[in-house]
Structure 1
């Protein structure tokens, strides 16, 4: 059916152009866009969030298509039937208002049609005018006549109205107690009318309790279904006692028990569950709902409690693998959720077909959602449960901008760094959609810092407790991943929190030995490479040792420029051993680099880090500059070696710059480099212009032989290396006057515009950048430290190392080798405390004091509220006692008045008797 509806076109008929245009115009007006607008194509739009799968978590309920008989519907059908028959409504009004009686019945209906008499006969049965029924039969009314919409005859209507005399009379007139003219039997009508006495009469006269309805929708409901719909408790009790089947199902598989739970008929449900043959866990067709599902979905707490008492399974699943707890949480029925968890011991972590738990479905905009979330987590719901899309409850709350739910989930320990399948973290969503809720992360970090007095302490010194559970509980074994996400999502300021700073300090103390070892290994590698290039290539000692007949000048180069040149020339195997040692170190470096590839998601990400590119260039150069291929070295290898050495030592500088101690200086250097590159690019045209001009005005100078050499000379002149001798003309006999003037003007302009203005501009920008870096030096240090630790952890814990080695790493590199809960107790007021830096201790101590005062304030507020409530209670009790005293006094006064009244009456009687005797 759904597919058919989706395939139906938006407009059924496009016969005329005008109608289509008007419809299109209507849509344009509603949407706020004009059909003749031109949309600018400026790139691909960002991908839509997959969060829309959560905007409609509800499954539409089954529509109740069975029409229930009510007084209003029956009245409407009879009046419509009279109108269709062109009958007179005042005839019916006279019957209802008792204007028409048995004495004037024949006169009133003189000359009316047969149809009007039959409809009036039905109306009399409906309005309990049983005294007119015999008269209508005498006027020719048909006892089997029924109205066409529901097939209700006079017997149906008197049963619905609960008219016992009318029912008995019509049965004596031969009416069929099991007649179903269209939809209902008389027993169904008695159930809808909540008429147990009439139902008993029908059953006594042979009515079949198994009779089913036969509506146009083919519902096939039993009399118990009808009684439950009408909430006819007495009829339900009667039918169950008389053998009604409580397990009888209608077309959708709904038994009377299902229907009672779905409609919230708690009294009916109690009676039905006491009957024999009941199945409290029976499922409907299609959706496979149990009565507990239906009651929980509608939020009927009383029905849920009754079903649980009768043994209903709280963890039973429907067709979407949803439990009653899923449906109760989605319906925001707090009492039902509470009953299922406490009384039913329901499992809050059962997954539905989309792998969502009840905590996922509890997310909503109502004020009850927060209470449901709290009670679910209290009774064991996993706050970081992920569904098939990789979304946690926190993802859903953030995507739908539910700030209250977001804050509660974070305070309950929800991980803001979990990535969904599309790589989205809750922190990124919160930052984009509800940035005001970011403060709750700081509150959560604050709550992990507290003060306490150790009971066994002799000097009663205060201790500061730092609980790293929030940082570590979701980040084992990569303990820094939680803080690293703060940086990736643009919230690096959170690293300034004392808890984060303390953890980084402890973590760096654990893991720095691995980084220092890596730097030392890199230093040995670059040092060996430099020595080999200096001896074998730069001084050409290897070629001399292999070929003594070479040019004499090369021998002198090896002997003069190398401290051990003579020894190396006579013993070339030393250089060979030097290269083989270098190759061995390089092989270890290759293994390390290949192993490090597993820590990156893509190759592009791997080579986006400059140190990786530099290291691979150096590794490749080791094999390029070797003598092993032809037994000698070549001049072109010298050039490769020169760049290899430069790249190697530059990479070592970058590695040193990642250390927290030296990081700020390398950051300043790289920042000034970047600014200089941008400045040079911006003014490159000016420099090219001067380079070409100097080639023209100084044609005989070797420094300006071509534009490229001229440009390098100008760069040297920019640093202040100015040569005024080039302005002097060596040919004094015939000086080119105009060229000399041009040279002087060009030179002067270069000094003013480039050497003075441009270089001072560069210095000013560099100073400003350095000042900015110094202002944020603390935060920058924490960011670099976090990133460095993250890279080391990725390399160590990517899962490819042997198990025994991983165990060793867990004990040597992790702050928490086993348990996720790590607590550090320090003494902030003790000057001998060296486990944490003093600035971290002071900042953490301030937060702990703030937390302590806030708790005391809350406690005092609660005491005040309690005191006020006690005062109010005492006032109410005193007022109640005063009222009771007044009531006693009033009762006493009433008794006295009664006594006085009786005395006066006796006196009056005595006076009257005395007067009678005197007369």
Structure 2
């Protein structure tokens, strides 16, 4: 798959795998065997189509995310039956001979041979090697006319005349059909043994294809050349015999001097014998000195063929006679071990490893045999390779391990994952595109594999190079996994000591499911918020964790508040001393502190940019920070300009807004700052929607009241109009000013009335109603928003503290101390919290959280008790268990024993159902195996 291929959002991880079966011999109509190999390609689509192609890519820019298996070899038949018969029918008299010779049996054969003995060859017409001198453009037509005339004459001839008149054609056809008597009679009358059809096939080629040993020996006795090639230099008679899997014919040809290495640079007789699973022929050829290797570099050898077909016997024979296990095939550079692993052939893999095959050998994509065995879903082959010392974390050219390949298919991925992880495979290993096995399993929509990987420690927060988390893929492709994953949170809260009603009752909150293994402890919660699953944070386990986490890191926010408070105080004092009171000595005193704090603030922002510029640019608070930094830098210029007063005024406003944002990060103030932010955003959206109406009124007022100073300038008029929205109309000053009398009465009054109705009344009240609606919605969702905001703040701080840019800090440095102080869990020992919900002195968690946790454990216990006391619907018809229950009921009459008996009966029914279901499953498997083996099941 590639470990992948299909063009779409990812262009999808897909790869083809060839499933080969052992060749089987089938008889054709003419009694000749033909080799049939079943090929099956499975295309695995891994990727979906919504991720940036630049973040995936593999072979062609955006293909793949799984392991590639090279294009498999397919069997090549020498000639098909149709091809040979068409060539024979195009010979002079061929159609008549093909239809007549198969019918010559017993008495008809004897009569035809007796008639033939009385005739001489070519007595009917001289048709051997006829030369016709014709123009080139007329060749085809004239030859067809001549062939038709000869076929007509042959069809009118008697059997004996046919044999005598067309001996070449009849010899070829009788050899193809395996008709020994006719071929022998023709040879005894000196029919040319070297004749051939239009493709250069001699009688010996056709007799070898027909696996007729007698014919082959008879032809050799009459001088047939066992080393003769066809016209295409494709094969000799020995190739035909090997392809037909006839060991007697092979031995006969070898005894007569056939070249066992004919065509060694391409496909030798040994190649075809292996391809057709002809073990005896392979043995005969090797004993006769056939070379098991190919002198050409990167070409297919018989060992490649044997291992790709899973042919154990041929593989063993080739290895015993010196076949090279290191040779690579084609541009894929596949070794025999690669092909054996791809086929999932355990025995061939063992033979190759014992012969010295290198498990670490890589093909053109950097894949080892383990990658291909994993993609072939062969656990047995994986075990063999692991026992031989193969590395389970070996990477291919795309950085993918065998575990990536194992999850690319859902057939046996669970067993493969267990095997590889037990052997030491890294469950969170990412390829060069950032994809972990969990990403691929989710993209494959394999929920069982996803759950298995999660149980083995897979990180749901792992991100691809495009920034997509595994949790994102799980939500979109395997949403059924999320409820099961959240159910683990319920199991993480358990009764640790005493009963629930006791004063000393102790509950255990295990926080390990919340920390999947990332660098930060709140990565999972941040991912849940990103994928729209923020409601999960209201689970008692998550909420408790966030509360304790906030207690751990709030000291950092207090430091941040102190820093910004001091900066705001110094900045405000400097602006006041320089631009307001003009106290030069105070300005000089405050200059350097303000400059120092500005530099520290700029350094912090540069660090955040280096950590991730894309995420940094999305946060509007960061733009506010840079506005403050720029304003501070401008006003610190020694020589004061008039325009610096503008910057100082804006700077003072922005620095106090920034302080408000910092204060809003604390839980008790956060909801109010969020209200302000949300209402402000909605107000500007509202204003943008109705700005045209306001501009229209401002221009109208400028025309009608040009003598009034507030409307003289169109820009000032726009500002005045927006102020009038609040109700400050100044009616008397505008309409009854003696110094600026009204010039356009009537229209001016009407426009003012229209403004009051449309803007002051309707728009203003609409805006107020919208703000109230937003505030109510924020209050309704205040609990969840508080948790989300807390998770985002904690995650942001952890991302800064645990940035890779700070990894080189010494262990004794303040950075490492801050990291240790920010962590709540210290695996493997300190990962849980024990609380006593019934103890009034328990103060580590808020009382509402303690009550929610207690309620969760209590409800779970109630459900478990109810389930044990009830009979599952599927078991109500279990007659045998019902009768047993009735008999037992008669033995016990009191109520307490009856209750215990009911629980016992329900448990027995449940066990009986599970056992019967399992037995039915095993019985079906046995029957299927028996059918495959054509054996009646016992």
Give 1:137's aligned residue: 187
**1:517-556 pair list within 5 angstroms:** 517-535=559-577, 537-540=579-582, 542=583
Give 1:105's aligned residue: 113
Give 2:657's aligned residue: 650
CA contact (8 A) 2:704 2:748 kept: yes
CA contact (8 A) 1:143 1:175 kept: yes
Q: Deviation per CA, 1:804-860, whole angstroms, max 9, x where unpaired?
A: 23321221123356x589722434744555444455556667777899979999999
Give 2:316's aligned residue: 270
**1:613-632 pair list within 5 angstroms:** 613-622=623-632, 624-625=634-635, 629=638
Q: How far is 1:318 from its partner?
A: 2.0
Counterparts in 2 of 1:80 and 1:675: CA distance versus 1, 3 Å: same
Give 1:867's aligned residue: 915
Q: Structure 2 regions of 5+ residues with no counterpart? A: 1-50, 117-158, 875-906, 925-938
**1:211 and 2:261 correspond:** yes
CA contact (8 A) 2:704 2:743 kept: no
CA contact (8 A) 1:672 1:769 kept: yes
**1:54 and 2:48 correspond:** no
Counterparts in 2 of 1:780 and 1:194: CA distance versus 1, 3 Å: same
1:284 corresponds, among 310, 329, 354, to 329
Partner Cα distance (1:850, 1:149) in 2? 85
CA contact (8 A) 1:77 1:149 kept: no
Q: Secondary structure at the match of 2:763?
A: helix
Q: Secondary structure at the match of 1:661?
A: helix
Q: Deviation per CA, 1:726-778, whole angstroms, max 9, x where unpaired?
A: 599698xx999998888876666655554443332222111111111112222
Give 1:513's aligned residue: 555
Q: How far is 1:795 from its partner?
A: 3.9
Partner Cα distance (1:748, 1:158) in 2? 112
Q: How far is 1:419 from its partner?
A: 3.9
CA contact (8 A) 2:200 2:229 kept: no
Q: How far is 1:513 from its partner?
A: 0.8
Partner Cα distance (1:599, 1:250) in 2? 54
Partner Cα distance (1:875, 1:422) in 2? 49
1:221 corresponds, among 243, 268, 284, to 268
Counterparts in 2 of 1:56 and 1:715: CA distance versus 1, 3 Å: closer
Q: How far is 1:524 from its partner?
A: 1.6
Give 1:16's aligned residue: none
Give 1:386's aligned residue: 430
Q: How far is 1:79 from its partner?
A: 4.4
CA contact (8 A) 1:355 1:386 kept: yes
Give 2:151's aligned residue: none
CA contact (8 A) 2:835 2:842 kept: yes
Give 2:894's aligned residue: none
Q: How far is 1:866 from its partner?
A: 4.7
Partner Cα distance (2:421, 2:459) in 1? 14
Counterparts in 2 of 1:390 and 1:821: CA distance versus 1, 3 Å: farther
If the length of structure 1 is used for normalisation, what is the TM-score? 0.71
CA contact (8 A) 1:348 1:380 kept: yes
CA contact (8 A) 2:292 2:303 kept: yes
Give 1:771's aligned residue: 776
Q: Deviation per CA, 1:227-277, whole angstroms, max 9, x where unpaired?
A: 22232223333444454443456786333322211233233323334x242
**1:760 and 2:765 correspond:** yes
Counterparts in 2 of 1:833 and 1:244: CA distance versus 1, 3 Å: farther
Q: How far is 1:221 from its partner?
A: 0.7
CA contact (8 A) 2:735 2:742 kept: no
**1:92 and 2:96 correspond:** no
Counterparts in 2 of 1:461 and 1:279: CA distance versus 1, 3 Å: farther
CA contact (8 A) 2:458 2:516 kept: no
Give 1:824's aligned residue: 832
**1:380-779 pair list within 5 angstroms:** 380-396=424-440, 413-428=457-472, 435=476, 437-447=478-488, 449-451=491-493, 461=505, 463-468=507-512, 471-473=515-517, 475-476=518-519, 478-535=520-577, 537-540=579-582, 542=583, 573=585, 576-601=588-613, 606=616, 609-622=619-632, 624-625=634-635, 629=638, 640-684=647-691, 687=694, 718-719=725-726, 752-779=757-784
Q: How far is 1:322 from its partner?
A: 1.7
Q: Deviation per CA, 1:290-312, whole angstroms, max 9, x where unpaired?
A: 22222333344554455456554
CA contact (8 A) 1:282 1:291 kept: yes
If the length of structure 2 is used for normalisation, what is the TM-score? 0.70
CA contact (8 A) 2:89 2:98 kept: no
> Is the deviation greater in 736-745 or in 678-687?
736-745
Q: Deviation per CA, 1:469-505, whole angstroms, max 9, x where unpaired?
A: 56341x21x4444433444455544444445434433
Partner Cα distance (2:472, 2:494) in 1? 36
CA contact (8 A) 1:219 1:251 kept: no
Give 1:782's aligned residue: 787
**1:36-185 pair list within 5 angstroms:** 52-54=62-64, 58=68, 61=71, 64=74, 66-68=76-78, 72=81, 76=85, 79-80=88-89, 85=94, 87-95=96-104, 97-102=105-110, 104-107=112-115, 109-112=159-162, 116-149=166-199, 151-154=201-204, 156-158=205-207, 161-180=210-229, 183-185=234-236
Output the aligned Cα RMSD: 4.8
Counterparts in 2 of 1:212 and 1:772: CA distance versus 1, 3 Å: same
Q: Secondary structure at the match of 2:613?
A: coil
Partner Cα distance (2:589, 2:634) in 1? 17
Q: How far is 1:350 from its partner?
A: 2.0
Q: Look at both structures and tell me which one has the larger radius of gyration over its CA atoms.
A: 1
Partner Cα distance (2:707, 2:227) in 1? 127
> Is the deviation greater in 722-731 or in 764-773?
722-731
Counterparts in 2 of 1:681 and 1:146: CA distance versus 1, 3 Å: closer
**1:192 and 2:243 correspond:** yes
Give 2:887's aligned residue: none
> Is the deviation greater in 806-815 or in 842-851?
842-851
Counterparts in 2 of 1:705 and 1:381: CA distance versus 1, 3 Å: same
Give 1:898's aligned residue: none
Counterparts in 2 of 1:92 and 1:249: CA distance versus 1, 3 Å: farther
**1:360-379 pair list within 5 angstroms:** 360-362=404-406, 364=408, 367-368=411-412, 372=416, 375-377=419-421, 379=423
Q: How far is 1:652 from its partner?
A: 0.6
CA contact (8 A) 2:570 2:590 kept: yes
Counterparts in 2 of 1:136 and 1:251: CA distance versus 1, 3 Å: farther
CA contact (8 A) 2:245 2:276 kept: yes
Q: Structure 1 regions of 5+ residues with no counterpart? A: 1-44, 544-572, 877-919
Partner Cα distance (2:91, 2:685) in 1? 93
Counterparts in 2 of 1:446 and 1:231: CA distance versus 1, 3 Å: same
Counterparts in 2 of 1:133 and 1:740: CA distance versus 1, 3 Å: closer
Partner Cα distance (1:696, 1:172) in 2? 123
Q: Deviation per CA, 1:66-91, whole angstroms, max 9, x where unpaired?
A: 43468x47973674465774543343
Partner Cα distance (2:462, 2:586) in 1? 56
